């Protein structure tokens, strides 16, 4: 098997060892965006989430945040309700 491309920091392997090397030329921006949306909708949810996570990490790195800044920062508070 051959690695096709890198997605979210890990190699993605194809079953047949080949990757799609199709070059598409667009004359209309809306046509290009529609094709891009169709592509991402065709991908499994875990792959889409991995891509979002990768873009989020890169955005934080560009702003100068440290790697530990990627986790959620929140405090959980428990409120007790009076019985009715």
At 14-43, the pLDDT tens digits run: 455 566 788 889 999 999 999 999 999 999
Domain contains 26:
yes
Domain contains 28:
yes
Domain contains 42:
yes
pTM: 0.52
Domain extent at residue 40: 3-70
Task: Name the CA dihedral angle for 66, 50, 59, 65, rounded to a multiple of 10 degrees.
Answer: -10
What pLDDT does 5 receive?
45
- pLDDT > 90: percent of the chain: 33
Domain contains 21:
yes
- Determine the Cα–Cα distance for residues 30 and 46; give it in Å rounded to an integer: 26
Domain contains 76:
no
Helix, strand, coil percent values for the chain (each to nearest 5):
45, 10, 45
């Amino acid at each position: 098997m051959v690695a096709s491309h890198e997605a979210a920091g890990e190699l993605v392997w194809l079953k047949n060892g080949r990757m799609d090397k199709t070059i598409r030329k667009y004359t209309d921006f809306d046509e290009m965006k529609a094709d891009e949306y169709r592509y991402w909708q065709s991908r499994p949810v875990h792959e889409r989430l991995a891509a979002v996570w990768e873009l989020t990490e890169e955005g934080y790195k560009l702003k100068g945040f440290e790697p530990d800044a990627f986790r959620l920062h929140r405090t959980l508070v428990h409120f007790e309700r009076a019985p009715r």
